[in-house]
Chains A and B, each alone.
Chain A
Amino acid sequence: MSAGGSADGAAAGAVSSTMLLALGIVGGLLCIYVSGFLGDVVGPVIAGIGAVLAIIWGADAIRRVASYGLGTGVPSIGYMSLSVGVISALAGLSLATKLNIHMLGPIAGFVVAVIIGAIIAIVATKIVGMKIPIMLQCTIEIAGAATLSILGFAVAIAGSYDMMVVYEHVVATGFIAVLFIMCTMAIQHPFNACLGPNEDQLRTLKCAASTAFLSMTLVGLMSVTTGGLGWFVVFIVGLIGWIVSFRAFVLASCNDAASTKWAGLWPKVEQ
Chain B
Amino acid sequence: MDPVTLGVVALMGAVATIGGAAEDLESDIGSQSNPNSQVQLAPQMGHLHRMINKAASGEPVAYGVWCGVAGAIAYLVMSLGMMPLIAIAMGACVAAFVHAIYTVTSHMGRIVGQSQFEQPLFMDVLTQSLGPIVGHGFITSFCIVGISYLMTIPLNGTPLHVFPLPLLAMLWGIALGAIGSSTGDVHYGSESEYQKFEFGGGTPVAIQGDIVTKAPLGAKNSMDVVNFCAKFGGPLTGFCFGLVVFFSFWNTVVFGVYGGIIVGIIIVILLIIMDNYLEVFARNKYGPYEEE
Q: How far is the CA of A267 from the CA of B282 in the complex (A)?
A: 43
Interface check A9, CB cutoff 8 A: no
> Which residue in chain B gives the minimum CB-CB distance to A196?
B113
Interface check B276, CB cutoff 8 A: no
Interface check B94, CB cutoff 8 A: yes
Report whether A174 and B75 are in contact in the complex, using a CB–CB cutoff of 8 Å: yes
Report whether B121 and A218 are in contact in the complex, using a CB–CB cutoff of 8 Å: no
Report whether B112 and A181 are in contact in the complex, using a CB–CB cutoff of 8 Å: no
Closest CB in chain A relative to B93 CB, distance in Å = 11
Interface check A250, CB cutoff 8 A: yes
Report whether B120 and A178 are in contact in the complex, using a CB–CB cutoff of 8 Å: no
A-contact 0/1 string along B258-285, CB 8 Å cutoff:
0000000000000000000000000000
Report whether B164 and A173 are in contact in the complex, using a CB–CB cutoff of 8 Å: yes
Q: How far is the CA of A56 from the CA of B73 in the complex (A)?
A: 25
Report whether B115 and A256 are in contact in the complex, using a CB–CB cutoff of 8 Å: yes
Interface check A14, CB cutoff 8 A: no
B-chain residues with CB within 8 Å of residue A225 when the two chains form the complex: 76, 79-80
Report whether A178 and B68 are in contact in the complex, using a CB–CB cutoff of 8 Å: yes
Determine the main DSSP class of A at the interface with B: helix
Interface check B228, CB cutoff 8 A: no
Interface check A134, CB cutoff 8 A: no
Q: How far is the CA of A254 from the CA of B104 in the complex (A)?
A: 12
Q: How far is the CA of A189 from the CA of B64 in the complex (A)?
A: 14
Report whether A253 and B108 are in contact in the complex, using a CB–CB cutoff of 8 Å: yes
Q: How far is the CA of A79 from the CA of B178 in the complex (A)?
A: 15
Report whether A218 and B69 are in contact in the complex, using a CB–CB cutoff of 8 Å: yes
> Which residue in chain A gives the minimum CB-CB distance to B106?
A193
Given contacts A75-B61, A173-B166, A211-B105, contact A260 B120 (CB under 8 A): yes
Given contacts A195-B113, A198-B115, A207-B105, contact A177 B121 (CB under 8 A): no
Within 8 A of A (CB), among B138-177: 163-168, 170-171, 174
Interface check B86, CB cutoff 8 A: no
Q: How far is the CA of A194 from the CA of B105 in the complex (A)?
A: 8
Closest CB in chain B relative to A115 CB, distance in Å = 25
Interface check A67, CB cutoff 8 A: no
B-contact 0/1 string along A96-109, CB 8 Å cutoff:
00000000000000
Interface check A116, CB cutoff 8 A: no
A-contact 0/1 string along B75-89, CB 8 Å cutoff:
110011000000000
Q: Which of A174, A181, A260 contacts B64 (CB 8 A)?
A: A181
Q: Which of B9-17, B52-60, B239-247 contacts A (4 or more CB under 8 A)?
A: B52-60
Q: Which of A189, A222, A246, A263 contacts B57 (CB 8 A)?
A: A189
Report whether A257 and B120 are in contact in the complex, using a CB–CB cutoff of 8 Å: yes
B-chain residues with CB within 8 Å of residue A254 when the two chains form the complex: 108, 121
> Which residue in chain B gives the minimum CB-CB distance to A182?
B65
A-chain residues with CB within 8 Å of residue B168 when the two chains form the complex: 174
Q: How far is the CA of A141 from the CA of B102 in the complex (A)?
A: 24
Interface check A73, CB cutoff 8 A: yes
Report whether B76 and A198 are in contact in the complex, using a CB–CB cutoff of 8 Å: no
Q: Which of A175, A189, A196, A253 contacts B56 (CB 8 A)?
A: A189
Q: Which of B36, B109, B123 contacts A207 (CB 8 A)?
A: B109
Q: How far is the CA of A190 from the CA of B163 in the complex (A)?
A: 31
Interface check A94, CB cutoff 8 A: no
Interface check A64, CB cutoff 8 A: no
Within 8 A of A (CB), among B12-57: 34, 36-38, 40-41, 44, 46, 48-50, 55-57
Q: How far is the CA of A185 from the CA of B36 in the complex (A)?
A: 18
Within 8 A of A (CB), among B196-221: 218-219
Q: Which of B57, B75, B167 contacts A185 (CB 8 A)?
A: B57
B-contact 0/1 string along A37-62, CB 8 Å cutoff:
00000000000000000000000000
Q: How far is the CA of A5 from the CA of B113 in the complex (A)?
A: 9
Q: Which of A1, A196, A210, A271 contacts B114 (CB 8 A)?
A: A196
Given contacts A198-B115, A258-B119, contact A250 B108 (CB under 8 A): yes
Report whether B57 and A218 are in contact in the complex, using a CB–CB cutoff of 8 Å: no
Report whether A258 and B120 are in contact in the complex, using a CB–CB cutoff of 8 Å: yes
A-chain residues with CB within 8 Å of residue B65 when the two chains form the complex: 181-182, 184-185
Closest CB in chain A relative to B103 CB, distance in Å = 10
Chain A residues in the interface with B (C-beta under 8 A): 1-5, 73-75, 78-79, 172-178, 180-182, 184-185, 188-190, 192-199, 203-204, 207, 210-211, 214, 218, 221-222, 224-225, 246, 249-250, 253-254, 256-263, 265-267, 269, 271
Mind listing 9 A-B residue pairs with CB under 8 Å? A178-B68, A189-B56, A193-B105, A210-B105, A221-B73, A225-B80, A253-B121, A263-B124, A265-B50
Beyond the given A257-B120, A267-B48, could you list 10 further A-B residue pairs with CB under 8 A, ordered by the A residue number? A174-B163, A174-B164, A185-B57, A189-B56, A210-B101, A218-B69, A225-B79, A258-B118, A266-B48, A266-B119
